[in-house]
């Protein structure tokens, strides 16, 4: 009996020590976000050429080629410019997002005049893509957003994001973060009535020599409209030279970028 009692005490101590070690290794939501940021590529400017495939309710596909420039601004904000290169029906359509959606402008060659997207219209769909203007410019890691760690499993962290910006279409956003590589492999979007309306999945990633992760293939699903948008990055460049006024209304109507 004494031997069994000693074994029991030893086992209990090992168990308690193991629990302590596991608890000590548990990351806070801020630490998880920081690690995600550490795994993101370091750049000031970026240029990508992508193939976008739109799939409607009946499975019909439309393929578009898309050019995008982005630049990191002061205060962790980002400006971006997106232009469709093909097909002819959307060629030249350009979207300009300034300072993480502080201002958004849309240029359509048929009208030959940029128009500003009002805050109340940020939830509107962009050119039949299933993506809203808000979706195309959202920063999940924005420091102003409220964040909470909902669950930790063997393979992932589930983080709840509560957007704090004005005119947001979402009550909450849930990220499923890969526990080993620290990138958001899945994103769930819940509207103001807390209904799951859209999902985003990172299907394929590229990891460079420094361990930095770039999403190379993304699948966006609109659950309400039953349609999908797939984006595959074909070319990507970092730290390219751009004019100081590149991200401006003046650039929108330029025939070449």
pLDDT at 112 over 60: yes
- Paired tokens of 176: 């499923």
Q: Give the pTM.
A: 0.85
Q: What is the pLDDT of residue 140?
A: 63
Give the confidence band of 119 by pLDDT, cuts at 50, 70, 90: confident
Q: In the predicted model, is pLDDT for residue 98 greater than 70? A: yes
Report pLDDT for 230: 97
As a whole number of angstroms, the distance between CA 146 and CA 124 comes to 24
Residue 118's pLDDT is: 87
Q: What's the confidence (pLDDT) of residue 183?
A: 95
More confident residue, 210 or 9: 210
Of residues 95 and 141, which shows the higher confidence score? 95
Report all structural domains of the chain as residue ranges with CATH numbers, in order of start: 30-252 (2.50.20.10)
Mean pLDDT across 130-141: 76
Does the structure show a pLDDT above 90 at 50?
yes
**Quick one: what percent of the chain has pLDDT higher than 70?**
88
Mean per-residue pLDDT over the chain, rounded: 87
Q: What mean pLDDT do residues 212-229 have?
A: 95
Residue 61 scores a pLDDT above 60: yes
| pLDDT (tens digit per residue) in 18-31 | 444 444 457 899 99
């Amino acid at each position: 009996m004494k031997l069994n009692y000693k074994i029991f005490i030893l086992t209990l101590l090992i168990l308690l020590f193991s629990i302590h070690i596991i608890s000590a290794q548990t990351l806070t939501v801020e630490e998880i976000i920081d690690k995600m940021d550490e795994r993101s590529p370091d750049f000031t400017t970026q240029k990508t050429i992508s193939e976008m495939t739109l799939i409607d309710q009946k499975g019909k596909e439309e393929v578009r080629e898309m050019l995008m420039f982005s630049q990191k601004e002061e205060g962790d904000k980002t400006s971006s410019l997106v232009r469709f290169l093909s097909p002819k029906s959307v060629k030249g359509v350009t979207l300009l997002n300034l300072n993480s959606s502080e201002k958004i402008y849309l240029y359509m060659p048929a009208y030959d005049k940029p128009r500003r997207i009002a805050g109340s219209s940020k939830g509107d769909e962009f050119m039949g893509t299933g993506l809203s203007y808000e979706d195309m410019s959202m920063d999940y890691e924005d420091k102003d957003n409220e964040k909470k760690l909902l669950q930790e499993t063997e393979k992932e962290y589930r983080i709840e994001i509560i957007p704090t910006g004005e005119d947001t279409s979402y009550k909450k956003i849930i990220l499923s973060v890969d526990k080993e590589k620290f990138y958001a492999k899945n994103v769930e979007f819940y509207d103001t009535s807390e209904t799951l309306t859209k999902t985003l999945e990172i299907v394929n990633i590229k990891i460079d020599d420094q361990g930095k992760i770039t999403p190379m293939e993304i699948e966006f699903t609109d659950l309400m409209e039953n349609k999908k948008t797939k984006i595959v990055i074909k070319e990507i460049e970092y730290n390219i030279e751009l004019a100081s006024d590149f991200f401006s209304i003046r650039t929108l109507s330029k025939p070449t970028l």
